[in-house]
Structure 1
Amino acid sequence: MNDPNGLIRVGDEWHMFHQLNPAAPVMGNVHWGHAVSRDLVNWKTLPVALANTPAGQAFSGSAVYDRANTSRLFDGVTGGGMVAIYTRASDGRQTQDIAASRDGGRTFADYAGNPVIDIGSDQFRDPKVMWHQPTRRWIMTVVRAREHRVIFYGSADLRRWTELGEFSNAGLRGVDYECPDLVRVPVEGGGTRWVLFLSINPGGPQGGSAVQYFVGDFDGRRFAAEDRATRLMDFGKDFYAFQTFTDAGGAPIGIAWMSNWQYANDLPTGTWRGAMTLARRLSLRRRGVDWRLVQQPAGLDTSGWRTLIDGGRRAHTALPRGDALDLRFTFDLDHRTVVQFGNGAGEFVEIGCDPRPAIGSLWINRGGAKGFSHPFFTDKFSCALSPGAKTLPLRLVLDRCSLEVFGDDGTMCASLLHFFGTPPDRLEVAVISPGGMIPSLSLRSFSGTPGL
């Protein structure tokens, strides 16, 4: 599995469609897989939603709920239905198609008039559609990938589309623009801004895949970025194709694919490959003249915390058994500190903070885990600390082969895969520079129901 598609909330049910090869654990033969959840943690797998057909593969896209039946695809159905908008990809052409579901997303029927947009291109994909209330029409954000152009289309009925404007050649271009998403995000302290999320591959600064974002305004035709600075969502290497849920209610919530195209087909996970990040709730924080995206885990219970380590210069403890661990810790930025997950075989993954002026970084090293070797499986990553900060709150979610880091209350995020030869069973915290003491570290374990 790879890109999340068609993220949408309907009632108390969260739908996550996604790119899927149902026949083999490698890219190709692309269908839309489907899973549903009531809490964003426990997922139930449902049958394939959109299939690979003689017309082409079912590439990435989005879903909306057409309650007013603007599409006329739900005549005779009270309350409308779900419409998937996706790219149908053949060897020589990529078109935008739609499909309708009258049973809450369980099954879809392709629209007889497909494609709804065809510009004769083989690099035209990944439509994200939303309802834009000020202009009372549907807006599609889609990319002409290799031209590095984000195109906006408008429609009254999801079937007939008119090109409106574009946003192009901004930020990191890489080889392809992919998986755009335009969404209004609340600003801490009041107000909202439009944010355009844009994935690139290959060409990310860590190598391979990456997600960048731009803050600005959208007038129903064009997105105007406040500046063209490159801001990355995640400083790890395993975060791609980020998309937000339609009709989430409140602040936007989104999910990314947790992998990288440089090694996605080679991961040592056996009969399956591919997983998603935790769902993340979004806001914006103004910091001087800059913007910072704030990301916090969504759906994780906040109870059950217990103090694991409190005080001292060096401490270690056994890790409780469980599917995943959720840890909270605060770095004292007057001292260098390292948190390490390890085992008796000498393997480890570590997260550290080095506040020395020439370095000033939160860093991660996954190179001590020896369960996977690949020339592009980069081992070390870092993110600059904010000047003048005295402490750095940190939240870590460690699962069997994944680590998600939320630093500085969610403005410094990293998503990383890791592969131990033997599972980690101990945690060690050490203050390296003289005079420092370990602040308390809190932990809880939790278990989700595997569904994907």
Structure 2
Amino acid sequence: MKKSIISILLIVTLAGSKVLAQDFKEKYRPQFHFTPKANWMNDPNGMVYHNGIYHLFYQYYPDAKVWGPMHWGHATSKDMISWKEQPIALYPDSLGYIFSGSAVVDKNNTAGFGKDALVAIFTHHDPVQEKQKTGKHETQSIAYSLDDGKTWTKYKGNPVVQNPGISDFRDPKVRWFEAQKKWIMTLASKDRITFYSSPDLKSWSRESDFGAKEGGHGGVWECPDLFPIKHEGKDVWVLIVNINPGGPNKGSAGQYFLGNFDGKTFTSNSKETKWLDYGTDNYAAVTFANTGGRNILMGWMSNWQYANQVPTDPWRSANTIARELGLKTVGNEIYLTSIPVKELDALNSTGFLLKNVKVQDQLDLTERAKNKSGLFRLDLTTESKADFSIVLSNEVGNELIVGYNKAGNQYYIDRIKSGKVDFEKGFAEKHTAPRLATGSKISLTLLADVASVELFADNGLTVMTDIFFPDTPISKFHIKSVSGIFLDTLQYKSIKSRNDR
């Protein structure tokens, strides 16, 4: 039998325990994913790196745990792991709620606000016009900060892009296009993407549309992103388009296109619909601006199918971990790859290493791990291409199962018996993802936090993210294979919780 290579990186968030930080005792509170201290959060917005600090803005409703009039919340970090929540950056005003958008560093002072000013570009959503069904209730506006994001001033000439009569006209992602010395805005326009350009972030001209007949169209297009990645000596342009609903496992998800962009038009070279993440809980994912040669992506770790109902308190929603993007050719196709940023390695603590281990039926690692926090990293390699599963469980019988199915050549996450699932009828399901790699060695990494699972297979070729809510903390860990697999290496490391840093 021909050997195959499977590389998997899996990040899991497990239930909290008494050893966690005193100010994070709430059930399901993640320890290395960002969550607001209280109330509602959705899409990450305005992510930008500036003067040694990563800025994360996000859709935020400060008055309840469910979606409401949107603000821009704000958090900062030096490493994309430990986040400090800051005062709200942008509040609703006479033009409407503050919907999603992006932020840039205006190094050349093109807007005239000041050299190196932070400029936020966002959607104003007017609820009054929306009720009147004018079709023009969403416009694009800007604000600027001259004190590293601490305070913001909205531009007096807002909005800077008027609505041409499209009901869903939002989520501007802006980047500098050096070849033509202009700003490019990538905007979601109902069922397609519209590109605009500007010399100064204030006056914008429409350039072109893309996507009316490309990709998935199971729902409205939202939260796009456009950026180049160097691959085999050439720039390949990546266009990310989030869609709700219409994901590969129901609900909201993110797709992407690869091709060329000439400053006016995007041309796709993709022959198939490609997905950023086959799980159900990575939406509105976009990249940080101003990070040099790194392309770092972060998404909202939930799904509009049940986001308002998940059993967390006093907050709702977390972000995915930050992920480093790349490209890989498989056969005649190029795919986007996504792996956790290297900064996460700093959380590794004590552990153990096993070599040349046979798994027949199951391998119980519960006692050897001696980890009561539920935070860990597992690295595993095997040359056996056979069915296997990683089972996370507890004393009350909850199970979250992550595995590989040989017959279907698929990865899967099964949360049917994972704990609390009755808050939404479609939550308790088994999700699958195709294996895209064609090589021969299985390599798997598993990281654990508090209430989610993030799976990176084949060095990030296939990615899955799912949240889950066990009734009691996950305390048992098994690797299972009925047909048997031989593990070349198995390395386990505890992960530091917030109070250990």
Shift in CA distance, 191/322, structure 1 to aligned 2, threshold 3 Å: farther
Which of 258, 265, 272 aligns to 2:308? It is: 265
Rate the CA distance shift 1:226–1:387 in 2: closer, same or farther, 3 A: closer
Q: 1: CA distance between counterparts of 2:102 and 2:482?
A: 48
Q: Do structure 1's residue 317 and structure 2's residue 365 form an aligned pair?
A: yes
**Distance (Å, rounded) in 2 between the aligned partners of 1:306 and 1:390:** 28
Stretches of structure 1 lacking an aligned partner (at least 5 in a row): none
Q: Percent of aligned pairs with the same residue? A: 36
Which residue of structure 1 lines up, in the alignment, with residue 387 of structure 2?
A: 336
Q: CA deviation at 1:268?
A: 0.3
CA distance in 2, matches of 1:266, 1:86: 27
The reply on whether 1:138 has 2:178 as its aligned counterpart is no
Unaligned runs of 5+ in 2: 1-40, 130-136
Residue pair 2:376, 2:448 contacting (<8 A) in 1 also: yes
After superposition, give the CA deviation of every residue in 1:418-441 in whole Å (9 maximum; x if it has no partner).
11001111111122115x334432
Q: After the TM superposition, which residues 134-283 of structure 1 pair with which residues of structure 2 at under 5 Å, given as runs?
A: 134-145=179-190, 148-169=191-212, 170-187=214-231, 189-283=232-326
CA distance in 1, matches of 2:437, 2:184: 40
Give the Cα–Cα distance (whole angstroms) in 1 for the partners of residues 405 and 169 of structure 2: 44
TM (norm. structure 2) is 0.84
Q: CA deviation at 1:387?
A: 6.9
Runs of 4+ in 1 over 6 A off after TM superposition: none
Structure-2 residue corresponding to 1:352: 403
Whether 1:107 and 2:156 are equivalent positions in the alignment is: no
With normalisation by structure 1, the TM-score equals 0.93
Q: For residues 107 and 432 of structure 2, what CA distance do their matches in structure 1 show?
A: 45
Which AA in structure 2 matches 1:40?
A: M
**Does structure 2 conserve the Cα–Cα contact (< 8 Å) formed by 1:40 and 1:279?**
yes
* Residue pair 2:276, 2:463 contacting (<8 A) in 1 also: yes
Query: 1:38 maps to which residue?
Result: 78
Q: How far is 1:446 from its partner?
A: 2.2
**1:333–1:355 Cα contact (<8 Å) kept:** no
Separation in 2 of the partners of 1:36 and 1:55? 27
Shift in Å, 1:37: 0.5
| CA separation of 1:232 and 1:263: change in aligned 2, threshold 3 A | same
1:17 to 52, 57, 61: 57
> Match for 2:169: what amino acid?
F
Of the candidates 472, 476, 489, which is equivalent to residue 422 of structure 1? 472
* Residue from 374, 389, 392 that aligns with 2:442: 392
Give me the CA root mean square deviation.
Answer: 1.8
Task: Choose the corresponding residue for 2:413, options 364, 373, 376.
Answer: 364
State the alpha-carbon separation in 2 of the partners of residues 45 and 15 from structure 1.
10
Q: 1:282 to 1:305 in 2, by over 3 A?
A: farther
Identify the match of residue 493 of structure 2 among 439, 444, 449: 444
* CA deviation vs aligned residue, 1:279-310 (integer Å, no higher than 9, x gap): 00000001111112111101211654743655
Which moves more between the two structures, 296-305 or 282-291?
296-305
Match of 1:178, as an amino acid?
E
Distance 1:34 1:209, change over 3 A: same
CA distance in structure 2 between the partners assigned to 1:30 and 1:361 by the alignment? 38
Partner of 1:287: 330
Output the amino acid matched with 1:85.
I
Aligned residue number for residue 307 of structure 1: 352
Cα contact 2:382–2:486 (8 A) shared by 1: no
Partner SS for 2:183: strand
Higher relative contact order (CA 8 A, sep 6+): 2
Larger mean CA deviation between 322-331 and 402-411 belongs to 322-331
- AA matched with 1:108: W
Paired residue type of 1:316? D
Quick one: distance in 2 between partners of 1:217 and 1:225? Answer: 7
CA distance in 1, matches of 2:479, 2:402: 10
1:69 paired to 2:109? yes
Question: CA 1:135/1:72 → structure 2, altered by over 3 Å: closer, same or farther?
Answer: same
